[in-house]
Structure 1
């Protein structure tokens, strides 16, 4: 399957408080129920158990002549019936659905987007994850922007616009399900162009984010090589000793004498790749502001 055809995953507004966000993230079924306005009904007591316990209590009441005992049986009956109707998981599910309904504009489900907009969101999420999971980001070498804050916010803003675009495209197709007559087709063109322009603009923002991720991925590879070379540089005497002990005096291992220059070149390439990643980040911010 084309990786760009993978559906996006659940997205929650990064500005939402962590306790609420964690509950919503752990309850995708509650989010779908909230989107449909379906709050689970309170489940009543099991009728079989209810009949059995009621019969037992009536039998006990019939065998007793004391009013105090009968009163106690009434209290016991109330507690038992309440216990029969108690449904802890049901109560938790209803709370989760109500919480999701209170924050219905703070999460986005895969089904909230059409196929093309879903593709764009998935690409956005992939690019964001690439940057956030990179070694150079974890090492705080990308100081142009605060990726941990800026990129989730960028993803959320793009996603909200994609949902709006999906809704408007669906509405447009409902209003204009087929091609209009040729003599009036031109009157519909501005509306179609508006939708196309919005999608092209959002696709451009996604490509800018993907370019940033591509530069970060490249810089990550150079960074790993740079760190490996630093470790090897510390072991240079061992390599030189190995050559001296195992090779004839006339033989030398090509490249060892140039190690310092090679390390300098790799270091230069690393700094260049970091600079290119930062430039891509600045371009991403410029594209977002426009």
Structure 2
């Protein structure tokens, strides 16, 4: 599901964790009311309960069997405790009911600010998945976490892009489903002339959304290149830190003259990777500006 980034993180987490309840709410389900205060019982209600036919029959059996008075009292007290305990259990609202009520209230309060999987048709789900994959590539990258990209703007702008794309795809899916249902019932020849422009409108809208997604994928591609250069640079730097130990071993073994070219090449590789990383980051920044436009 996709949630409007304007929704608080706490509420968004609650909605995401209860998507199954949100689907039921969409279909008209309502949670049972929650009793927040236990009703007071009249002391005489317990006496009335003891006066019911089953309890009177139990007392008669005990009297006829000549049970010792002490045993009669103990057994009677046990029955009363069981009945009181059962009444208390029935009066206490289960935690699940309270949780369902909280989810229901948040869903009603934030109606229109979240989208469920069933809001998208097959084509829309595929496009949305591409957008989410591209956004995830950027936000999960080390170059973003290290601040080599504009991590703050990414954290704000990319979720907003995801929500806008999802919102448009949900509207497109709804109209497309209605349109297909109409065509499935058959269309008169004079209506066909009106249907064609509507179909072009749907196709144009999908193409516009797809263009947004492709821009996101282009940005993610530049970030992926920067990420690869970042990891390669880290490996080279790690190897360079070990060079003194290798040089010491080569000097002691008398093979240092043969290894000098390889060591120099390692240093050159580090420089190449550093420049490649900078170029990749610059390209990612340019793609970001294009995405904003």
Q: Taking structure 2 as the reference length, what is the TM-score of the superposition?
A: 0.77
Q: Who is 1:30 aligned against?
A: 21
Structure 1 CA distance for aligned equivalents of residues 248 and 30 of structure 2? 75
Alpha-carbon distance change, 238 to 109 in structure 1, aligned in 2, over 3 angstroms: same
Structure 2 CA distance for aligned equivalents of residues 164 and 170 of structure 1? 10
| CA displacement, residues 45-78 of structure 1 (integer Å, 9 cap, x when unaligned) | xxxxxxxx89853369989xxxxxxxxxxxxx99
Structure 1 residue 131: Cα displacement: 0.7
Structure 1 residue 36: Cα displacement: 1.5
Which secondary structure does the structure 2 equivalent of 1:16 belong to?
coil
Pick one of 86, 90, 93 that aligns with 2:92: 86
Alpha-carbon distance change, 134 to 248 in structure 1, aligned in 2, over 3 angstroms: closer
| CA displacement, residues 127-149 of structure 1 (integer Å, 9 cap, x when unaligned) | 11111110000001102861111
| 1:198 pairs with 2:205 | yes
| 1:141 pairs with 2:132 | no
5+ residue gaps, structure 1, are 1-9, 45-52, 64-76
Q: Is contact 1:145-1:281 (8 Å) kept?
A: no
Structure 1 residue 22: Cα displacement: 2.2
Pick one of 171, 175, 179 that aligns with 1:172: 179
Which structure 2 residues correspond to residues 18-57 of structure 1 after superposition, within 5 A?
A: 18-42=9-33, 57=50
5+ residue gaps, structure 2, are 36-45, 60-82
Which secondary structure does the structure 2 equivalent of 1:251 belong to?
helix
| CA displacement, residues 173-221 of structure 1 (integer Å, 9 cap, x when unaligned) | 2223267466653332110000000001111111111111121111101
| CA displacement, residues 241-277 of structure 1 (integer Å, 9 cap, x when unaligned) | 2222335465335421234333221111110011111
Structure 2 CA distance for aligned equivalents of residues 247 and 56 of structure 1? 102
Q: Taking structure 1 as the reference length, what is the TM-score of the superposition?
A: 0.78
Structure 1 residue 79: Cα displacement: 9.3
Q: Who is 1:47 aligned against?
A: none
Structure 2 CA distance for aligned equivalents of residues 211 and 36 of structure 1? 39
Where is the helix percentage greater, Structure 1 or Structure 2? 2
Count of aligned pairs: 257
Q: Which has the larger radius of gyration?
A: 2
Alpha-carbon distance change, 130 to 218 in structure 1, aligned in 2, over 3 angstroms: same
| 1:58 pairs with 2:64 | no
Q: Who is 1:162 aligned against?
A: 169
Structure 1 CA distance for aligned equivalents of residues 209 and 162 of structure 2? 11
Structure 1 CA distance for aligned equivalents of residues 161 and 183 of structure 2? 32
Q: Who is 2:258 aligned against?
A: 251
- What do you get for the CA RMSD once the two structures are aligned? 3.0
Q: Who is 1:5 aligned against?
A: none
Q: Is contact 2:34-2:98 (8 Å) kept?
A: no
Structure 2 CA distance for aligned equivalents of residues 203 and 278 of structure 1? 21
